[in-house]
Chain A
């Protein structure tokens, strides 16, 4: 555990050098956030009944959270695994004292950490000053606690999902299509461009139960009735984490048996 945190710290420290990159990422983030905010404000003015589905501040917070997590870039784990497997560089990492998959996860967390923290601070400030806090049926402290717990669990699930996508490169010539499909399913069911509250009921149910929606369930914590949803979200996340953990162990064992080091 300590080794892992140190790994993340070292990688994050290296990314601090790329100030220009982070600055432009944040410019991109803020512009997109503001564009979405003003567009949805206009939509709420044109269609007042939208308020019944989800209040305006909740919509903005829900989408913000999605794009904050986007900067952590855990989806890139798949690309990094695929690249290593295709180029044969995987053997370099296998010689290190930390497990290969753990290395890839730590490196990705470290790489995206600064952008993620910057996006979090900026988004909270922009959302708070422009639309205020979301409409909540419970206390703010409990809401913050729920965000923290769901964020940690949902990102563990995201890691497992993209590790599994990446490991498929051991069998497929090009695993990119799998990545495309999974990342877009997460985009749809995670409420990236449109919160799922605006979708038909059946679709919402599927989003909440599926691993794709679960991996972005922080956005559901932005809904007014989050306190009622919270126990279900946690149970759902634990189920999918256990399921994907077992699957990752099975798949990785088989995958590493297939590995042929090219020397």
Chain B
């Protein structure tokens, strides 16, 4: 396992190095994604100004929430982009490369691709989250809770992204379906957490766990609630098991395309 993780780290370093080798293109990609993300900050902060505080959520909380959402997205797409490319890999029949490699197939697959623009999400998310923490004057205890909640969010984001990519093993043309399903998961997480009615909130924390990757970490620190954090861990654990279970079934269904390279 340690060997696999070492491989993953080395591959990620190589990916980053490759991306950074084309310095101009890299920074244009990163900067364009930052500009792209700014639109959401403008929209929701203007909206919050118009409505005032909603269910205890201020403009600053929405700011922090968008930062968390970008960070989760950035982590998944910067370090695990191979999961996003899985439908194409399967369609081309090149999944053999992953299966035959003497490395853990999940880590091998995850690190096989990278997205330059995702680094924009990662950097911006990281900056916003740190700024939010400093602005809200988090204590050491709150920082720990906040980081754990974000880690849980990142994990669930990776699981869901992977699960939707696994659709390709079960349905022909799964690439398109996978993308549409992912959008269904992503969009609710971009709405301010304060505007969700309770029942809807529960739905989007469990069945479609979008809020775990955006609003829930903010709710956890606003209430300093360990019980919500534990709930978040519970849901994450459940989705990890579902992902592993589905992945095992999916791999059994794979038929080689004889395209070994």
Q: Which residues of A does B touch, CB under 8 Å?
A: 18, 20-21, 24-25, 27-28, 31-32, 35, 38-40, 42-43, 46-47, 50, 53, 173-174, 176-177, 180-181, 184-185, 187-188, 192-194, 198-200, 203
Asked whether A27 lies within 8 Å of B184 as measured between CB atoms, the reply is yes
Residue of A nearest to B198 (CB): A42
Task: Knowing A25-B180, A35-B188, A43-B51 are in contact, say whether A173-B25 is a contact too (CB < 8 A).
Answer: yes
Asked whether B180 lies within 8 Å of A174 as measured between CB atoms, the reply is no
Task: Knowing A39-B195, A180-B33, A184-B36 are in contact, say whether A28-B54 is a contact too (CB < 8 A).
Answer: no
Give the chain B neighbours of A180 by CB distance below 8 A.
32-33, 35-36
Interface pick from B39-47, B96-104, B134-142, B149-157? B39-47
Q: How many residues of B contact A (CB 8 A)?
A: 39
Distance (Å) between the CB of A159 and the closest chain B CB? 22
Give the chain B neighbours of A46 by CB distance below 8 A.
51, 54-55, 195
Task: Knowing A32-B187, A177-B31, A194-B47 are in contact, say whether A188-B42 is a contact too (CB < 8 A).
Answer: yes
- Asked whether any CB of chain A lies closer than 8 Å to the CB of B176, the reply is yes
- Give Cα distance in the complex from A93 to B259, angstroms: 32
Residue in B28, B55, B184 whose beta carbon sits within 8 Å of that of A32 in the complex: B184
- Give Cα distance in the complex from A39 to B195, angstroms: 6
Q: Which residues of B does A touch, CB under 8 Å?
A: 24-25, 28-29, 31-33, 35-36, 38-40, 42-44, 46-47, 49-52, 54-55, 171, 173, 176-177, 180-181, 183-184, 187-188, 190-191, 195-197, 200
Give the chain A neighbours of B52 by CB distance below 8 A.
47
**Knowing that A180-B32, A184-B35, A200-B46 are A-B contacts, what are 19 other residue pairs whose CB atoms are under 8 Å apart, sorted by A's residue number?**
A18-B173, A20-B173, A20-B177, A31-B184, A32-B187, A35-B200, A46-B54, A46-B195, A47-B51, A173-B24, A174-B28, A176-B28, A176-B29, A176-B32, A180-B33, A181-B35, A184-B38, A194-B46, A198-B51
- Give Cα distance in the complex from A180 to B116, angstroms: 14
Task: Knowing A177-B28, A181-B35, A199-B50 are in contact, say whether A193-B176 is a contact too (CB < 8 A).
Answer: no
- Give Cα distance in the complex from A32 to B187, angstroms: 7
Give the chain B neighbours of A176 by CB distance below 8 A.
28-29, 32
Asked whether B187 lies within 8 Å of A35 as measured between CB atoms, the reply is yes
- Give Cα distance in the complex from A191 to B207, angstroms: 29
Asked whether B183 lies within 8 Å of A20 as measured between CB atoms, the reply is no
- Give Cα distance in the complex from A46 to B46, angstroms: 17
Asked whether A28 lies within 8 Å of B24 as measured between CB atoms, the reply is no
Pick the 5 closest A-B CB pairs, nearest first.
Answer: A177-B32, A184-B39, A24-B180, A198-B50, A180-B36
Asked whether A174 lies within 8 Å of B25 as measured between CB atoms, the reply is yes
Give the chain B neighbours of A39 by CB distance below 8 A.
191, 195-196, 200
- Give Cα distance in the complex from A42 to B33, angstroms: 31
- Give Cα distance in the complex from A187 to B54, angstroms: 23
- Give Cα distance in the complex from A203 to B32, angstroms: 23
- Give Cα distance in the complex from A27 to B183, angstroms: 11
Distance (Å) between the CB of B158 and the closest chain A CB? 21
Distance (Å) between the CB of A78 and the closest chain B CB? 13
Asked whether A21 lies within 8 Å of B50 as measured between CB atoms, the reply is no
Give the chain A neighbours of B188 by CB distance below 8 A.
35
Residue in A35, A40, A188 whose beta carbon sits within 8 Å of that of B43 in the complex: A188
Task: List, sorted by A's number, 17 A–B pairs whose CB atoms are closer than 8 Å.
Answer: A18-B173, A20-B176, A20-B177, A28-B183, A32-B183, A32-B184, A35-B191, A38-B197, A39-B191, A42-B197, A174-B29, A176-B32, A181-B35, A184-B35, A193-B190, A198-B50, A200-B49
Distance (Å) between the CB of A149 and the closest chain B CB? 28
